[in-house]
Structure 1
Amino acid sequence: MQTGILANYPFSRAPVPAMRSLVSAARAHGILVVLVRTELRVSGLDVSANNSLFTAFHQAGPLFHEGSGETDIIPELAPQAEDAVITKRRTSAFAGTELDLVLRAQRIETIALTGVATSAMVAGTLYDALDRDFRATVLSDACADAERDVHDFFMERIFPARGARVMTAGSWLAEVG
């Protein structure tokens, strides 16, 4: 949930209230909060011409460029000292990052995913997490996609078929206590 994404993609604002509640509850219960941002080097050294999605992200200007301010986590979810902030340069939050190391160092085996876009970044991270043998829950109202029917299809059909639990933020909060 980066400032530039929320400013440029209106659909991405919808999950913010649920995320605020989730982050607050997780911190209150001593649950690790991991905030992920997508940043690309201004030089483009980390962008392959073979990757059309990230080439487009890089060419979009400072929206995804490191150090631009556009990649800052939104103030409503501002990182705290006890949180982990992961910088990714690909779709999955695991690809080329220290996320797996942080989770395993903390003996975490179950994760709850939120984010945008459901069909891209959330899906990529979920599939990677499942391949790494994490149990995963996707919080449906704390995710969004530019197309609502695509979001619903992933939540109702794709994610459960892959072995993920799908539930609302409210249901997850009730379980946390």
Structure 2
Amino acid sequence: MESRSVHDVAPMVDNSERIIKFHTRDNEIIEMPQKWIIISKTVKDFLVEHGFEDKVCEVTQPIRLEHVCAETLRIIMKWCQRHHTENIPASHDRGASGQYKGLDDPFDASIMPSKQAILFELIMAAKFLQLNYLRDISCNYLVYNAGRVAFAKLFDLSGRTDDSEPLDMARFEAMNDGKLSF
């Protein structure tokens, strides 16, 4: 059997429609348009380093992401797609419009995983891919939710009984104004 590498290319692909394939830790192949994932400095540098950025060619072999599962990569793909299609800055630079709000953005909150293991992996994958704003909003989401859980546990450890005043999460959220950051 012939061995192939990421350097193998098939000619005649319009770069604006080029698909980049990723091989995840759980052996899934996920395809993503280059125009979405190019906001990742790591992917962009990889394409430049291997001479693929400016060539009209297709990368035929998947890029191996050994520490990223398919579920995490799909979250990253949704985030990158939105930032590309809605022309939202993928960095802390909000531009003149100031339109990007981080945790206040319902979309970002909606794509955050409910499983902590996936959230941790999302943070690490965003760091590796140099999607720093995604990393930061993921960290903020983790801290925000950890604060909620810690508050609830602290409240429970304080000796509450069944007839105690109910836990007032709205009051806790108002205290933090919903805007935790580093």
Fold equivalence (TM over 0.5):
no
Greater Cα radius of gyration, structure 1 or 2:
2
Structure with the largest fraction of strand:
1
Structure with higher RCO (Cα < 8 A, 6+ apart): 1
